[in-house]
Amino acid sequence: MGTAMLQEGRSALDAACEMVCMLEDSPLTNAGFGSNLNDNGDVECDAGIMLSSKEGKNTRFGGVSSLASIKNPVLVAKEIILYQDEPRLLGRTPPLILVGEGASCFAKKRGLKLVQNKTLKSERAIKKYKKYKERLEISKKAVLAGLKITIQPNPSQDTVGVICIDKNGDIASAASSGGIALKLPGRIGQVPVYGCGCWAQHSKSAGIAVSTSGCGEQLIQTTLAKTLGQTILDHGDPAFHLKELMCNQFIHSQMLSDDSYDRMGGVLVAYYNEDSVDFNMAFTTDSMVVGFMSTNYEKATVRVSRNTSSIAPPTNGNDSLQSTRLTMEGFIVKLIN
C-alpha cells in the first residue's frame, strides 16, 4: 500500500505514516493497538519520524511518548513535523518532542480523535500482562523466601519501523512502539528520542535512513541510529561500517557499563546512492523480520531471519558479553527514476 502511494507521487512522509498506521492497527505488533501493557495495565505508546529532503536543506524530526489515548501515535509525530513548517507568532520555537497529556491535547487540537485506553488493549496483550504479573509476584515471594531466581530474557520489545524513499528522493524513517511489557508508567524508549529510534539524512550524493529496535535504554545510551547514519553517510560502504559500529559502538560500547545484560539491538539501514538502495540489517536479538519492495516490484520480499551467528568479536577485552551474537544480512534494491 505504501508502494502504491509512492507510485502515485505521494511523499515519503505520507507513505511511511500510512504504513506505520497499518502496523499499529495490527494486534500482532507491539505498537498502537495491541501494545505491551505497562506496570499499571495500560497502553502507553511512543512514536517518532525523521524526514530528510533530497537537497539536504530540510531535516525534520517529531517524537511523542506516553500517549495513552491515541489510536495511531505516528500521526501525532507527523503533526509535530507539519506544525514545525507552519508560520509562528513571535518567533516561538516549535517542539520536537511532546509527551503525556500535553501530547494528547496537541493531537486533539490538530484534529486527531482521542480514544479510551481500553480500546487499545488486545486480548493477547492482556493475557501476556497477566502472565508476566503472575511471574513477577512469584519471583518477589521467592526472593523474600531466600530463593534464587534465574533471570529471564526481556519479554518482546519489537518496535515497528518503516523507511520510505519517494520520487523526489526524499526519505522518511518512522518508528512506533508500545515499549517493554510491564514498563514503569511514563518510561521513554528509543523511538521518540532524537538520533536513537530513527534517522534520515542526505549528503550531496547519497541519502541514508536507519530504523532501530531492541532494548530502548541501550539504543538511547549509544545514540545508535544517529551514530550509524552519520558514519555511513560520511564514509559509504554500509555493510562494512554497520558491522564495525554494531561491534564497537553498540555491543562493546563504553556507555553500556552494566555487563549483566546482553545487548539487544536490531537495525535496518537503507543507504541510497544514485539508482539503487543498499539495505543492510544487523541484529543481536533472536530474530528480525524485514519486508521491502521498490515501485517496480510486483510484491514485497519478506525475510524472517534468526540469529544463528557466532559470538560478536570483543574488541575491548570485555569477555563478559559472550552471549551477544551479531547476525547481518544485506539486499540491493534497484530504483526506477
Instruction: Tell me the C-alpha distance between 174 and 197, whole Å.
Output: 8
Nearer to a copy of itself, 150 or 310 (CB): 150
Please list, in sequence order, all residues whose beta carbon lies within 8 angstroms of the beta carbon of residue 94, skipping any fewer than 6 positions away.
Answer: 80, 83, 84, 86, 88
Q: Give the residue from 181, 183, 228, 185 showing the smallest Cα distance to 50.
A: 228
Of the CA atoms within 13 Å of residue 262, those in its CB half-sphere come to 19
Say how many Å lie between the first and final Cα of the chain, rounded: 19
Biggest alpha carbon–alpha carbon distance for the chain: 67
Residues between 159 and 218 with contacts to a copy of itself, criterion CB under 8 A: 180, 182-188, 193-196, 201, 215-217
Could you tell me which stretch among 11-19, 61-69, 238-246, 304-312 binds a copy of itself (CB under 8 A)? 61-69
Q: State whether residue 302 is helix, strand or coil.
A: strand
- Reply yes or no on whether 284 is catalytic: no
From 1, 28, 102, 311, residue interacting with a copy of itself (rule: CB under 8 A): 102
Spatial contact of 44 and 179, defined as CB atoms under 8 Å apart? yes
From 36, 65, 177, 324, residue interacting with a copy of itself (rule: CB under 8 A): 65
Residues between 219 and 248 with contacts to a copy of itself, criterion CB under 8 A: 220-221, 223, 226
Residues between 278 and 337 with contacts to a copy of itself, criterion CB under 8 A: none
From 41, 95, 236, 330, residue interacting with a copy of itself (rule: CB under 8 A): 95
- The nearest distance, CB 179 to a copy of itself, in angstroms, is 10
Alpha helices in 51-90 (DSSP H): 73-84
Nearer to a copy of itself, 34 or 189 (CB): 189
Could you tell me which stretch among 55-63, 119-127, 272-280, 319-327 binds a copy of itself (CB under 8 A)? 55-63
From 151, 298, 304, 308, residue interacting with a copy of itself (rule: CB under 8 A): 151
Nearer to a copy of itself, 72 or 223 (CB): 223
C-alpha grid cell, residue 213: 529496535
From 154, 248, 295, 307, residue interacting with a copy of itself (rule: CB under 8 A): 154
From 30, 35, 36, 66, residue interacting with a copy of itself (rule: CB under 8 A): 66
- The nearest distance, CB 40 to a copy of itself, in angstroms, is 8
The neighbour count for residue 44, using CB atoms within 10 Å, is: 27
Nearer to a copy of itself, 2 or 192 (CB): 192
Q: How many residues bind a copy of itself (CB under 8 A)?
A: 65
Instruction: Tell me the C-alpha distance between 6 and 19, whole Å.
Output: 11
Instruction: Tell me the C-alpha distance between 177 and 158, whole Å.
Output: 7
Nearer to a copy of itself, 83 or 331 (CB): 83
Q: Catalytic: which of 29, 59, 119, 159? A: 159
From 97, 163, 246, 290, residue interacting with a copy of itself (rule: CB under 8 A): 97
Nearer to a copy of itself, 178 or 216 (CB): 216
Which DSSP letter does residue 56 get?
S
Contacts by residues 248-253 (CB-CB < 8 Å, ≥ 24 positions apart)? 248/315, 248/316, 249/222, 249/224, 250/218, 250/222, 250/224, 250/284, 251/284, 251/312, 251/321, 251/324, 251/326, 252/312, 252/314, 252/315, 252/316, 252/318, 252/321, 253/221, 253/222
Nearer to a copy of itself, 188 or 242 (CB): 188
Catalytic residue ranges: 159
Which spans of this chain sit near a copy of itself (rule: CB under 8 A)?
Answer: 38, 44, 56-61, 65-66, 84, 89-106, 132, 135-136, 139-140, 143, 149, 151-154, 180, 182-188, 193-196, 201, 215-217, 220-221, 223, 226, 254-255, 257-258, 261
